[in-house]
Copies of this chain bind each other. A is one copy, B any other.
Amino acid sequence: MSDLLETVRSLAKKTDTKIVLVVLDGVGGLPLELNGDTELASAITPNLDTLAQDSQLGLVELVGAGITPGSGPGHLSLFGYDPLKYVVGRGALSAVGIGVKLNTGDVAVRGNFATLGAGRVIEDRRAGRPSDEKNAEIVTRLKAAIPEIGGTPVEIYTESEHRFVVVFRGQPGEPLGANISDVDPQITGVAPHVAAATDPASEKTAALINSFVARAEVALKDEPQVNGVLFRGYSDVPHFPSFADVYQLDAACIASYPMYKGLASLVGMEVLPVEGHEDALDGKVKALQDNWDKHDFFFFHVKKTDSTGEDGNFAEKVHKVEIFDELLPQLLALKPDVLAIVGDHSTPSKLLSHSWHPVPLLIHGGHGRRDAAARFTEEEAQKGTLGLRRGTDVMPLLMANALKLNKYGA
């Protein structure tokens, strides 16, 4: 546990105040042309503008200088957990995100369906991106074909498109290790790698993985496209101190996508059901309203600001920011004591990927000083009273602004 997290834990107290942490996934951006406007600066955001003028602003770097965060490390940092110290594998995230409970000794693995050609050469690492329905159909076939391997129960879960999750259940006295090399070579034109254990405790798991790969190919041999599986991201069960333990918060997660629900669940948040498809912003607002009296912390996740950046669609990312702007009054109407808006990393349309650039942070409510930041943009946030900080500073600042932290020392 990082020093600050441990200190915050020793100072946290229960109060009646409520905190809403809005994460606009990947919201930080870049200008398309040198010295131009970013996506945030290009968006027309009357509500965010007004809010920014009455808020504390700053910038946060989630992992460290120049480091591009994955979604896991980005969110863990925002939740106050040093992402260089608290590491969670994608397999565990995915499993928890779809509601699968992992126990000590289990290993969760992230899988991709792939298209294999002659000689098992990988032709498409995503099997032509099958529909979710096709994915579910293939998973059903695999479940029937591989219910267990040598006595170890095997669970297979559909995720979306080419993605699925396998959980190998460790048996009493025989915990499975998760230190195994990737089956996925991450390139096409070669055969899948044979998984190898990198420590003795993982040898049984590596054998299970290789057996799974072979049996899946037999089971899917008549499929033209979805006829192979690739694995990477093996994880055993991470144990994090919970939000309740560290912050004395009864925290709820309002998110649509498995990974974010999984992360929230790992730190002990209650994952609230959200009605609707994809980003389901209306469903998320409704979940917030319906559960307002039941929790004192809400993690409210907005996904499309990231996806549009990953697609390289500047205009559409601008639009997604504007859609959030329109929704903002409904969040404010609930009168949270502290409302924060931040990103878990930048996803500039220009780069079509996550990036290392700091993201703006806005804290409304609480107890702040005037600053010159007039908009929720990267450039204005630089004028903010909060300065440039690590992502792990966000939770302590929210707790402080909600008057939920005792004094340190006499």
A152: Cβ under 8 A from any B Cβ = no
Task: Given the known inter-chain contacts A7-B67, A67-B405, please indicate yes or no for A400 contacting B233, CB distance below 8 A.
Answer: no
A38: Cβ under 8 A from any B Cβ = yes
Q: Kindly list chain B residues whose C-beta atoms are within 8 Å of the C-beta of A233.
A: 410
Q: Closest B residue to A73 by CB, please name it.
A: B409
A295: Cβ under 8 A from any B Cβ = no
Q: Closest B residue to A401 by CB, please name it.
A: B66
- Fill in one digit per residue for A1-19: 1 if any B CB lies within 8 Å of its CB, else 0: 0011001100100000000
Chain A count of residues within 8 A CB distance of the other chain: 72
Cα–Cα, bound, A392→B7 (Å):
17
Q: Kindly list chain B residues whose C-beta atoms are within 8 Å of the C-beta of A68.
A: 400, 405-408
The answer to whether B379 touches A350, judged by C-beta atoms less than 8 angstroms apart, is no
Shortest distance from the beta carbon of A285 to any chain B beta carbon, whole Å? 25
A378: Cβ under 8 A from any B Cβ = yes
- Fill in one digit per residue for A377-395: 1 if any B CB lies within 8 Å of its CB, else 0: 0110011010111101101
A64: Cβ under 8 A from any B Cβ = yes
Binds B, one of A140-148, A286-294, A318-326, A363-371: A363-371
The answer to whether B66 touches A8, judged by C-beta atoms less than 8 angstroms apart, is yes
A34: Cβ under 8 A from any B Cβ = yes
Q: Kindly list chain B residues whose C-beta atoms are within 8 Å of the C-beta of A356.
A: 396-397, 400, 405
Cα–Cα, bound, A297→B15 (Å):
44
Q: Kindly list chain B residues whose C-beta atoms are within 8 Å of the C-beta of A31.
A: 369-370
A–B pairs, 22, beta carbons within 8 Å: A4-B67, A7-B63, A34-B370, A35-B53, A35-B54, A65-B389, A66-B397, A66-B405, A67-B405, A69-B408, A72-B410, A350-B367, A353-B407, A356-B397, A356-B400, A357-B367, A357-B368, A357-B369, A382-B385, A387-B387, A388-B388, A388-B389
